[in-house]
């Protein structure tokens, strides 16, 4: 892999949010994520290489997508270029490249839509900024629609609710349909279809890993905490990102889930058929793959005869589960109607704490001074609990029930205004490291403030992508890479195994 | 009299294009399916909650307020002033003039200046703020120029040419009741009318579609109830699992 050198943005002392940059065109023009090999594209139903007559085919696919999506159709018409979104994207703030301003990114697609599908763009292209879909445009699409993490922060601030994520998903689907795919997403999706998870971890390896985990936990605590796979008749099917099976700090979160189930005395199981919560189909806007990947969960739940489905700590997976599962793989009439379907592990733990069914020893976390990073897909594309904004309240309440020292970052950088970690949306790949580091800057700036002022030493997140991204990028900003911690590690550490609740 | 006829025909044609064009767009927006639940959260859990969310967006530009105070100030000032000015203009289309239209007449007069201030502020941003300069197309400038020229020519009628508005009103009522009256051939009136006709024609093919379009953005109009109510549409309509 070519070694790319770049400067890490500098953090300012005592500042909640980054300074507003002036635009520097072309600063990220060079950054092109690795293209998929033909086999990666073909495995998930797309042409292997750039097809003949690709311009016309792309334009046609764009038309089909617009016809099938109210969001896309309305968003392409309603933007007035007011500029409200221009300073909201973490990638623009970190890279200063104007094509990373949400409206400019959207305009890459909007200008093509106008050229081929609107009266003004067909007859007066220069006047309304309509452009041909040619090779330079395709290159810009490839580079800049792979510099969007689909985090929806811009949409929160748009007077019309225009969501760049929808446009970036459509652009990736159009590119895939003409044989221009991204290696990272497409290769991973094929692994899910063939093996069952993103990591390509086959069933025997999964079983081995979990047995090893049981031994480790027993060694540490003296208590046998089970991590069952394919256990028919269990009450709960846990669907969790496969990173939880061995990446750090994810695996400590998995241990935490296990301890929670153990203490609550509720039987649960993982599934080797659906050993992956992630569904990267959303990132590439592929409806066929989205449904196919989600369907494994329904099949696993029916096969194992569970009563509930609970989803582990994963941001985009929770969006797919919460917002899309009922549509794609519902109805869930075979599950116990007493519980929401699906349910987030944080909702599950929160309910146990509320009922007094989980005794937590806060002092066990006294060495931690904690802040919480709201993951974008949880914050802006889903909910927990039964009130709007529960996705902000529940994780914080669980942390506060398990630890004594909690400090929120600046209000403009949390809740629905949270800054993306910089690695979401299918960008968590080493070939985009420059983008990931620069895009993390706004979050790092807010983190620096609570580190400096409150001696925060622990950054808690509930998303596998956020955790991996932070573990890798924190050191660029002179923080300890291991300050990123799974929420359920904090919970797990506060659980006193062997004691009666 | 030729001029009166020409403008009468142009007004009828522009009205037809505006009404049919916008109605067609609204029908297309309404008919296009939203296959997945994509409300930007936190979102209301009920239909009534969504109505309240949209009411805040439409009346006080809530999201824009939290986004950028300058755009909000100029944008809101322009839109509220425009609403007042339009309401004030109802007196040219009604006989007898409705009570509330009479009441707002003095406010409508000042609103014209607020409208111009708002437009000037928004336009200045297109030159002064490098981010907004970068995203502006010629059409973005032209739209502001058009609106500004409409406002200024309107003020010209009132303060410079002192055209007899009784004649203008007679002309407009004549248009409405197909009983054509002579049009006062005043430069500002003709300019004002011409620009308005242009605005009516470009409305359904321009970014002015944000007005009807914003009511069809699923990110804002959907209820957050994905787990409780099974939503299917478009490509998900046939997605009931086996």
Give long-range contacts, CB 8 A cutoff, 24+ apart: B152-157. Answer: B152/B116, B153/B188, B153/B191, B153/B192, B153/B195, B154/B85, B154/B112, B154/B188, B154/B192, B155/B112, B155/B116, B156/B187, B156/B188, B156/B191, B156/B192, B157/B186, B157/B188, B157/B189, B157/B192
B30, exposed or middle or buried, with CB in 10 Å at 0-12, 13-18, 19+?
exposed
Q: Is residue A5 part of a domain?
A: no
State whether A278 and A233 are in the same domain: yes
| ipTM surpasses cut 0.90 | yes
* Contact by Cβ (8 Å): A488, A253: yes
Residues A297 and A347 in one domain: yes
In a shared domain, residues A330 and A301: yes
* Confidence (pLDDT) at A4: 64
Closest by CA to A148, choosing from A433, A416, A423, is A423
* B1 is a domain residue: yes
Residue A179 domain-assigned (yes or no): yes
| Sequence-ordered list of residues with C-beta below 8 angstroms from that of A475, at least 6 positions apart, any chain | A481
On the question of a cis peptide bond just before residue A196, with omega within 30 degrees of 0, the verdict is no
Question: Kind and range of the H or E element at A309?
Answer: strand A308-311
Paired tokens of A18: 């980054």
Residue where one domain finishes, among candidates A188, A219, A246: A188
Q: Which of residues 252-271 of A touch B (CB under 8 A)?
A: none
**pTM of the complete model:** 0.96
A451 in a domain, yes or no? no
Which residue in this structure is represented by tokens 């895009």?
Answer: A439
Between chains, do A388 and B213 touch, taking CB under 8 Å as contact? no
Contact A199, A87 (CB under 8 A): no
Which residue among A188, A215, A239 closes a domain?
A: A188
Residue found by looking up tokens 């909702």 in the block: A347
Segment B143-168 shows an average pLDDT of 94
Task: Please indicate whether, in this complex, the C-beta atoms of A98 and B63 are within 8 angstroms of each other.
Answer: no
Q: How far is the alpha carbon of B238 from chain A, nearest alpha carbon, in Å?
A: 9
Q: How confident is the model at residue B51 (pLDDT cuts 50, 70, 90)?
A: very high
Domain that holds residue A301: 195-407+456-494
Contacts of B241 in chain A (CB under 8 A): 295, 298, 329-331
The whole-number pLDDT of residue A500 equals 56
Distance CA A408, CA A16 (A): 11
Instruction: Name, in order, each residue with C-beta under 8 angstroms of A483's C-beta and a sequence gap of 6 or more.
Output: A457, A458, A459, A474
Instruction: Choose one of A188, A218, A251: the last residue of a domain.
Output: A188
Domain that residue B32 falls in: 1-48+165-233
Residues 6+ apart with CB under 8 A from B64: A82, A84, A157, A159, B71, B72, B75, B76
Query: Residue A170 is part of a domain; what is its CATH number?
Result: 1.10.1060
pLDDT at A1: 45
Examine residue B55 and state whether it is found in any structural domain, yes or no.
no
Residue among A495, A416, A432, A325 nearest A6 (CA): A432
Q: Contact, A89 vs A153, CB < 8 A? A: yes
DSSP bridge partners of A485: A460
Q: How confident is the model at residue B231 (pLDDT cuts 50, 70, 90)?
A: very high
Which is it for the CA torsion B215, B218, B223, B224, positive or negative? Answer: negative
What part of A 310-329 touches B (C-beta under 8 Å)? 322-324, 326-329
Q: pLDDT of chain A along its 501 residues, tens only?
A: 445 689 999 999 989 999 999 999 999 999 999 999 999 999 999 999 999 999 999 999 999 999 999 999 999 999 999 999 999 999 999 999 999 999 999 999 999 999 999 999 999 999 999 999 999 999 999 999 999 999 999 999 999 999 999 999 999 999 999 999 999 999 999 988 888 888 888 889 999 999 999 999 999 999 999 999 999 999 999 999 999 998 999 999 999 999 999 999 999 999 999 999 999 999 999 999 999 999 999 999 999 999 999 999 999 999 999 999 999 999 999 999 999 999 999 999 999 999 999 999 999 999 999 999 999 999 999 999 999 999 999 999 999 999 999 999 999 999 999 999 999 999 999 999 999 999 999 999 999 999 999 999 999 999 999 999 999 999 999 999 999 999 999 999 999 987 655
Q: For residue A428, tell me if it sits in a domain.
A: no
Look at B230 and A327 and tell me if their CB atoms are within 8 Å.
yes
Residue for token digits 């956020």?
A466
pLDDT digits (tens, 9 = 90+) for B5-30: 999 999 999 999 999 999 999 999 99
Domain check: are A183 and A245 in the same one?
no
Question: How many angstroms away from the CA of A497 is the closest CA of chain B?
Answer: 33
Tally of structural domains, chain A: 2
Claim to verify: residue A258 and residue A385 sit in the same structural domain: yes
What is the rounded CA–CA span in Å between residue A297 and residue B241?
Answer: 12
Q: Which of A68, A77, A161 sits opposite B209 (nearest CB)?
A: A77
Classify residue A79: in a domain, yes or no: yes
How many domains does one find in chain B?
Answer: 1
How far CA B63 is from CA of A214, B214, B227, in Å, comes to: 49, 12, 26
Tell me what the pLDDT averaged over chain B comes to: 95
Supply the pLDDT for residue A3: 55
- How distant is the Cα of B110 from the closest Cα of chain A, in angstroms? 25
Q: Is A98 on the interface with B (CB under 8 A)?
A: yes
pLDDT classification of B242: cutoffs 50, 70, 90: very low
Q: φ and ψ at A426, to 5 degrees? A: 85, 25
Of A160, A166, A322, the CB nearest to B226: A322
- List the beta bridge partners of residue A229: A270
The answer to whether A411 contacts chain B (CB < 8 Å) is no
In chain B, residues with a C-beta closer than 8 Å to the C-beta of A103 are 135
Residues A247 and A106 in one domain: no
Chain B residues touching A87 at Cβ < 8 A: 68, 131
CB proximity A74 to B under 8 Å: yes
Residue A204 to chain B, least CA–CA distance (Å): 29
In a domain, A278, yes or no: yes
Residue A276 lies in a domain: yes
DSSP structural state of residue A270: B
| Cβ within 8 Å, pair B230-A163 | no
Closest CA–CA distance from residue B28 to any residue of chain A (Å): 9
Q: What does the alpha-carbon distance between residue A297 and residue A276 come to, in Å, rounded to a whole number?
A: 9
Of A68, A86, A152, the CB nearest to B131: A86
Of A88, A129, A152, which is closest to B40 when you measure between CB atoms?
Answer: A152
Cα–Cα distance, A89 to A100 (Å, whole number): 7
CB atoms within 10 A of CB A215: 11
Is residue B234 predicted with pLDDT exceeding 80? yes
Strand, coil or helix: what is A236?
Answer: strand
Instruction: Kindly determine whether residue A159 and residue B135, on different chains, have CB atoms separated by under 8 Å.
Output: no
């Amino acid at each position: 892999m070519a070694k790319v050198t770049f400067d890490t943005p500098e953090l300012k002392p005592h500042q909640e949010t980054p300074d507003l940059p002036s635009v520097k065109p072309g600063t990220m023009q060079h950054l092109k994520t690795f293209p998929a090999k033909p086999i990666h594209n073909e495995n998930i139903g797309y042409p292997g290489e750039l097809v003949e007559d690709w311009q016309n085919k792309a334009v046609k696919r764009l038309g089909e997508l617009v016809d099938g999506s109210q969001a896309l159709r309305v968003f392409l018409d309603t933007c007035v270029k007011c500029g409200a979104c221009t300073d909201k994207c973490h990638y623009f703030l970190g890279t200063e490249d104007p094509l990373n301003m949400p409206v400019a990114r959207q305009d890459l697609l909007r200008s093509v839509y106008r050229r081929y599908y609107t009266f003004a763009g067909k007859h007066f292209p220069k006047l309304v900024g309509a452009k041909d879909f040619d090779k330079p445009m395709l290159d810009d699409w490839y580079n800049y629609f792979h510099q969007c993490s689909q985090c929806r922060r811009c949409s929160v601030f748009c007077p019309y609710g225009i969501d760049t994520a929808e446009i970036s998903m459509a652009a990736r689907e159009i590119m895939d349909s003409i044989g221009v795919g991204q290696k990272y997403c497409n290769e991973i999706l094929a692994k899910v279809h063939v093996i069952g998870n993103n990591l390509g971890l086959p069933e025997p390896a999964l079983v081995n890993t979990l047995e090893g985990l049981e031994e480790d936990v027993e060694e540490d605590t003296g208590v046998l905490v089970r991590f069952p796979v394919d256990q028919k008749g269990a009450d709960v099917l846990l669907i969790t990102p496969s990173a939880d099976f061995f990446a750090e700090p994810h695996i400590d979160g998995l241990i935490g889930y296990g301890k929670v189930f153990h203490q609550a005395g509720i039987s649960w199981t993982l599934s080797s058929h659906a050993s992956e919560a992630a569904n990267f189909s959303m990132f590439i806007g592929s409806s066929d793959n989205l449904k196919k990947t989600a369907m494994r969960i329904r099949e696993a739940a029916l096969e194992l005869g569970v009563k509930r489905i609970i989803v582990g700590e994963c941001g985009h997976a929770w969006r797919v589960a919460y917002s899309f599962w009922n549509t794609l793989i519902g109805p869930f009439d075979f599950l116990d109607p007493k519980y929401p379907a699906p349910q987030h592990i944080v909702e599950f733990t929160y309910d146990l704490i509320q009922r007094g069914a989980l005794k937590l020893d806060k002092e066990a976390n006294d060495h931690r001074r904690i802040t919480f990073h709201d993951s974008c897909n949880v914050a802006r594309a889903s909910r927990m609990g039964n009130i709007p904004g529960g996705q902000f309240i529940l994780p914080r309440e669980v942390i506060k029930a398990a630890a004594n020292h909690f400090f929120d970052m600046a209000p403009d950088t949390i809740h629905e205004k949270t800054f993306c970690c910089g690695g979401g949306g299918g960008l968590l790949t080493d070939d985009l490291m420059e983008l990931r580091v620069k895009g993390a800057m706004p979050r790092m700036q807010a983190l620096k403030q609570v580190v400096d002022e409150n001696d925060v030493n622990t950054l808690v997140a509930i998303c596998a992508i956020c955790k991996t991204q932070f573990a890798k990028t924190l050191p660029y900003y002179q923080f300890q890479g291991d300050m990123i911690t799974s929420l359920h590690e904090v919970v797990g550490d506060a659980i006193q195994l062997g004691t009666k609740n | 009299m030729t001029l009166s006829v020409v403008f009468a025909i142009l007004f009828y044609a522009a009205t037809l294009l505006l009404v049919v064009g916008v109605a067609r767009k609204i029908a297309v927006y309404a008919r296009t399916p939203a296959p997945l639940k994509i409300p930007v959260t936190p979102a209301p859990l009920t239909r009534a909650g969504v109505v309240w969310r949209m009411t805040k967006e439409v009346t006080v530009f809530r999201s824009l307020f939290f986004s950028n105070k300058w755009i909000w100030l100029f944008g809101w000032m322009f839109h509220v002033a425009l609403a007042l000015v339009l309401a004030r203009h109802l007196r040219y289309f009604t006989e007898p003039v409705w009570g509330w239209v009479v009441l707002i007449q003095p406010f409508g007069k000042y609103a014209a200046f607020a409208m111009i201030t708002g437009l000037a502020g928004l336009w200045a941003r297109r030159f002064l703020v490098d981010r907004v300069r970068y995203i502006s197309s010629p059409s973005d400038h032209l739209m502001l120029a058009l609106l500004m020229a409409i406002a200024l020519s309107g003020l010209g009628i009132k303060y410079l040419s002192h055209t007899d508005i009784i004649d203008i009103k007679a002309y407009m009522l004549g248009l409405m009741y197909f009983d054509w009256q002579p049009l006062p051939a005043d430069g500002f009136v003709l300019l004002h009318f011409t620009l308005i006709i242009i605005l009516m024609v470009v409305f359904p093919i321009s970014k002015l579609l944000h007005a009807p379009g914003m009511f069809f953005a699923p990110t804002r109009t959907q209820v957050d109830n994905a787990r409780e109510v099974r939503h299917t549409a478009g490509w998900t309509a046939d997605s009931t699992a086996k």
